[in-house]
A = this chain, B = another copy of it.
Amino acid sequence: MELRRLFAGTAEGEPVGIGDDAAVFKESPGYQGVWSTDMMLEGVHFLRSWQSGLQLGAKSLIVNVSDLAAMGAMPRYALLSLALPPDTEVDFILDLCRGFRDVALREEIAIVGGDTCASHGGLVVSVSVGGFVAEGKAVLRSGASPGDVIVVTGYLGSAAGGLGLLKESLPDQGLEALKAAFIEPAGTLSESRRAVAAGASAMTDLSDGLATDLRHICLESSTAALVYELSLPIHPELRLAAERYGWDPVSLALSGGEDYGLLFTLPKKGAEATVEEMAAKTGSPVTIIGEMIAGSGIDLVRVDGSKGPLTLQGFDHFAR
């Protein structure tokens, strides 16, 4: 009942929100429903000590919203399920719910239901997000064509760098942007709207790392991709951290997960102007990193001009 009170007001105007067996939604003629789900586990995706409850709650909703943004869809509804270990501090969970609610209020998402139970393992946060897209207008992974340019929003590898600092408890002076990239991903709804308006042909979000996410677009679109190392948007702090801790910044940019920017393809004509305008309006980098070509697979053009297949896999939760 505490949660229901906490989420009161986020679902006003909906037929039925939290407090019945299921949530009931308004009709939206001319629109199709879009749903996605994601689960975050303590010890796998986060440790409780890494961030505040507010930050964790906000991230758990943002990473789900990211999936809808990647379809060009508008999120409208969220379901939140929590499995709580016995040692969970109530304040942490209330903060988690407040962080979740803050994002919901900001993005006008109604929190319409969920489930709470005990966990004998770690904290589990499972979120489903639903929304709408105008009929037939979803931007799929399958729409890219040879000749399209490949665009990413934000920096690549920053979240992986932040995760590295957290996992290995490394000193992080001067590396605050990396930690923030992992702990507080920014969300991409406005970028998504601009990408759709600019005619994005295929789109996905950068959750598993560029190499994996771009491979999905290549496979679904039956095309190949060419990526230029020189074009990869790498944050100066990632270069600094890489130097300090002996990491390879390019590997992190190519395969680090959880940046939660957008990866999309655009018809070449007018793409540079579009990208410049998007960057100016959103205040964060929007970068052409390569182009789609006929064939299969991904080739990387190195800074020295050499070219070879990009074999790096993206972030793998199973790797330890």
Contacts and interface: CB of A to CB of B under 8 A. Distances in A.
Contacts of A142: 20
B21 A70 contact: yes
B124 A39 contact: yes
A24 B132 CA distance: 9
Contact of A35 (B23, B68, B117): B23
A68 B259 CA distance: 35
Given A21-B141, A29-B29, A39 B112 contact: no
A100 to B, nearest CB: 14
Given A22-B70, A122-B121, A135-B27, A37 B220 contact: no
B21 A71 contact: yes
A40 B24 CA distance: 23
A29 B135 CA distance: 13
A115 interface: yes
A317 interface: yes
Interface string A181-225: 000000000000000000000011100000000000000100000
A83 interface: yes
Contacts of A124: 39, 41, 83, 124, 126
Interface in A16-64: 16, 19-27, 29-39, 41-45
A15 interface: yes
Interface stretch (A73-81, A158-166, A243-251): A73-81
Contacts of A133: 24
A130 interface: yes
B81 A126 contact: yes
A44 B27 CA distance: 37
A119 interface: yes
A76 to B, nearest CB: 10
Contacts of A114: 37
Interface residues of A, number: 65
A6 interface: no
Residue with the highest number of chain B CB atoms closer than 10 Å, among A29, A36, A44, A203: A36
B117 A41 contact: yes
A35 B119 contact: no
A138 interface: yes
A157 interface: no
Sorted from nearest, which 4 A-B pairs have the closest CB atoms?
A: A121-B121, A22-B36, A21-B70, A25-B33
Interface of A: 15-16, 19-27, 29-39, 41-45, 66-68, 70-71, 73, 77, 79, 81, 83, 112-115, 117-122, 124, 126, 128-130, 133, 135-136, 138, 140-142, 203-205, 220, 317-318
